[in-house]
Amino acid sequence: MFLRRLARGMSGNQRCTAGRIELYPNLVNVIAERAVLTVDLRNTDAAALQAAEQELAVCLDRLAAQENVAIATRSLASFAPIAFAAEIVSLVDTTARELGLPCRRLPSGAGHDAQMMARLCPSGMIFVPSVGGLSHNVREETKPEHLQAGAEVLLNAVLKLAE
């Protein structure tokens, strides 16, 4: 519940995910002596991301004191938010519209290859819709025609860049 409240209460595009929870000994009728979980915090605004990280740390300290348990944390990875090159974003937008495809600009906190490449060269991303808006989930599904449309936007954008 804390992560949901944090995501909804932060400015910008805050995302919070508890991705993995492991209990030890993980038996149906035994109180776990240890739990390991991952928390992924993302935001397109660096200051808001830092504030979210601080709020999580305060929450964990409070939880440890209230429940008389030890909580240890470590950072597995940390990537500063980046802004994609305006010319690439515009190229994708223009290309989609020229192909008669609906298009809108979306912020992304996701750590895709484009985020890493943006530090080296102009980069951008092309998103296609997932059924029901469900993404980063085992039930994520994208219709073949949307995949084809995304591939056509990519092909035509790359051809324009090659001219």
pTM score of the predicted model: 0.75
Report residue 139's pLDDT band, with 50, 70 and 90 as the boundaries: very high
Higher pLDDT, 46 or 38: 38
- In this predicted structure, the answer to whether residue 154 has a pLDDT above a threshold of 70 is yes
Q: How far apart are the first and last CA of the chain?
A: 51
Of the options 1.10.150, 1.20.81, 2.60.40, 3.40.50, the CATH number for the domain spanning 86-162: 1.10.150
Task: Check residue 94 and give its pLDDT.
Answer: 97
Quote the tokens at residue 24: 């030890």
* Dihedral angle, C-alpha 57, 47, 114, 141, nearest 10 °: 60
Percent of the chain with pLDDT over 90: 68
Determine contact, residues 107/44, Cβ cutoff 8 Å: yes
Determine contact, residues 98/156, Cβ cutoff 8 Å: yes
Whether the upstream peptide bond of residue 25 has omega within 30° of 0, thus cis, is: yes
pLDDT digits (tens, 9 = 90+) for 82-116: 888 999 999 999 999 999 999 998 877 666 788 88
Task: Check residue 162 and give its pLDDT.
Answer: 95
Q: Where are the domains of the chain?
A: 2-67, 86-162
Q: What is the mean pLDDT of residues 7-12?
A: 80
Task: Check residue 116 and give its pLDDT.
Answer: 85
Task: Check residue 79 and give its pLDDT.
Answer: 80
